[in-house]
């Protein structure tokens, strides 16, 4: 099935879709609203399921070579005591952390230089039985057989076609940052996440002697007083947590922090509309509690390509894609939402019981969950 495919959005989902579809011989063009490769964000973790999905395209090796490996996450109390270890099954390999801009560079490098058109902000889509026409803010248009909507959680394409709000505020807000790993007492090479009644704090070592951190606290949505927190404010909040959290925050500047409320979207009733198929956050933005947002976008891209390879027309492609993705996405989305609620509890009684249960939960229970989460299946 020879197709001209327009991809709206040049983030992880859009670039991975371009890579997988070009491999099939499709004529692919990516349209990105930014005028150049401008990546906001901090660290990112690529799990074994995403590495497996990218394996045929010689990208996994680059991620492994440039990333920092870990066998899983250690969950700690605010005093630094181990509550549990969420290990990656040894047969699946490792998690790999790297800066988001480095991952973006790896993906861009896998595409011909003229694949992405920059400075193309989506305005409108019109479609009929034969093609789809996309209009951009500069007055230009593009026509293709199919459109891949990869324009993120605030997808304008989804808004135009569905015309309803499916956002859910998780009840907590997040700061992220990257700093030098030098002179941080208590810093190890482990990926850790600390759970306490004041909030959650994650520490993920990155390559090049850097460390990625994130902090989550309960808050009202769009609370400007909390959104304006400085690094000193966060330090006061987490000053009694274990090392190296207080020192890490004391070495962070407010300018280097990124703040966002945590929201997801209810998975769409179906991941397509006419000649448009939705992937990544545009289809099913997930709370970050399982580290699977980018990984599921990567799975989307690979499976969409497989559906195009095996089906004869776009209706069969999209129906097949939806059927293959729906159960897994809903399961991960719901599980991530529940983990966030459990992890963000401020109740001393609840957290005491929770922590005790986590310490005594059999390792086989966590292994069974990990086997399901980290297995990529076409």
The verdict on residue 254 lying in a domain is no
Domain count, the chain: 1
Judge whether 221 lies within some domain: no
253: CB partners within 8 A, 6+ apart: 231
179 part of a folded domain: no
Each residue's pLDDT tens digit, 133-175: 999 999 999 999 999 999 999 999 999 999 887 899 999 999 9
Residue 266: its pLDDT value, please?
87
pLDDT, average across residues 241-255:
96
Tokens of 255: 């300018």
* Residue 184, in any domain of the structure: no
Structural domain contains residue 196: no
Question: What's the whole-number mean pLDDT along residues 50-66?
Answer: 97
Tokens for 314?
């776009």
- Looking up residue 139, the CATH number of its domain turns out to be 3.50.50.60
- Rounded distance between C-alpha atoms, residue 83 and residue 80, angstroms: 9
Average pLDDT over the chain reads 96
Least Cα distance to 265 among 286, 295, 296 occurs for 286
How much of the chain, in percent, has pLDDT values that exceed 90?
A: 93
**Strand partners for 106:** none
**Average pLDDT for residues 181-190, to the nearest whole number?**
90
Residue 53's pLDDT band (cuts 50, 70, 90): very high
With respect to residue 354, please indicate whether it lies within any of the assigned structural domains: yes
Position 378 in a domain: no
Structural domain containing residue 121: 4-167+264-373
Contact 185, 247 (CB under 8 A): yes
1 pLDDT band, cuts 50/70/90, is low
- Tell me the per-residue pLDDT of 324-361, one tens digit each, with 9 for 90 and over: 999 999 999 999 999 999 999 999 999 999 999 999 99
Q: Is residue 187 part of a domain?
A: no
Q: DSSP letter for 291, please.
A: S
């Amino acid at each position: 099935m020879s197709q001209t495919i327009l991809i709206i959005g040049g983030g992880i989902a859009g670039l991975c879709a371009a890579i997988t579809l070009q491999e099939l011989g499709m004529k692919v063009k990516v349209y990105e609203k930014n005028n150049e490769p401008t990546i906001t964000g901090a660290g990112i973790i690529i799990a074994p399921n995403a590495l497996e999905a990218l394996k045929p395209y010689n990208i996994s090796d680059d991620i492994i070579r440039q990333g920092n490996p870990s066998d899983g996450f250690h969950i700690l109390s605010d005093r630094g005591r181990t509550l549990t270890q969420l290990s990656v099954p040894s047969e699946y390999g490792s998690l790999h952390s790297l800066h988001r801009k480095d991952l973006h560079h790896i993906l861009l490098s896998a595409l011909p230089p003229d694949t992405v058109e920059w400075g193309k902000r989506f305005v409108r889509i019109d479609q009929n039985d034969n093609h789809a026409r996309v209009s951009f803010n500069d007055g230009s248009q593009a026509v293709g057989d199919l459109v891949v909507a990869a324009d993120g959680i605030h997808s304008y394409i989804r808004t135009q076609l569905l015309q309803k709000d499916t956002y859910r505020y998780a009840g907590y807000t997040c700061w992220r940052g990257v700093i030098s790993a030098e002179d941080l007492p208590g810093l190890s090479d482990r990926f850790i996440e600390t759970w306490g009644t004041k909030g959650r704090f994650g520490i993920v070592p990155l390559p090049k002697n850097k460390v990625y951190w994130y902090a989550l606290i309960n808050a009202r949505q769009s609370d400007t007083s909390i959104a304006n927190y400085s690094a000193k404010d966060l330090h006061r909040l987490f000053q009694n947590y274990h090392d190296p959290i207080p020192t890490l925050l004391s070495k962070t500047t407010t300018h280097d922090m990124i703040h966002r409320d945590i929201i997801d979207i209810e998975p769409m009733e179906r991941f397509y509309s006419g000649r448009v198929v939705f992937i990544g956050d545009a289809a099913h933005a997930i709370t970050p509690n399982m580290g699977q947002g980018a990984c599921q976008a990567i799975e989307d891209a690979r499976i969409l390509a497989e559906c195009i390879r095996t089906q004869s027309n776009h209706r069969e492609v999209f129906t097949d894609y939806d059927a293959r993705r729906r159960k897994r996405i809903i399961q991960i989305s719901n599980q991530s939402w529940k983990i966030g609620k459990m992890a963000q509890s401020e109740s001393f009684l609840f957290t005491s019981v929770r922590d005790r249960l986590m310490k005594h939960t059999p390792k086989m229970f966590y292994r069974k969950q990990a086997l399901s989460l980290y297995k990529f299946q076409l």
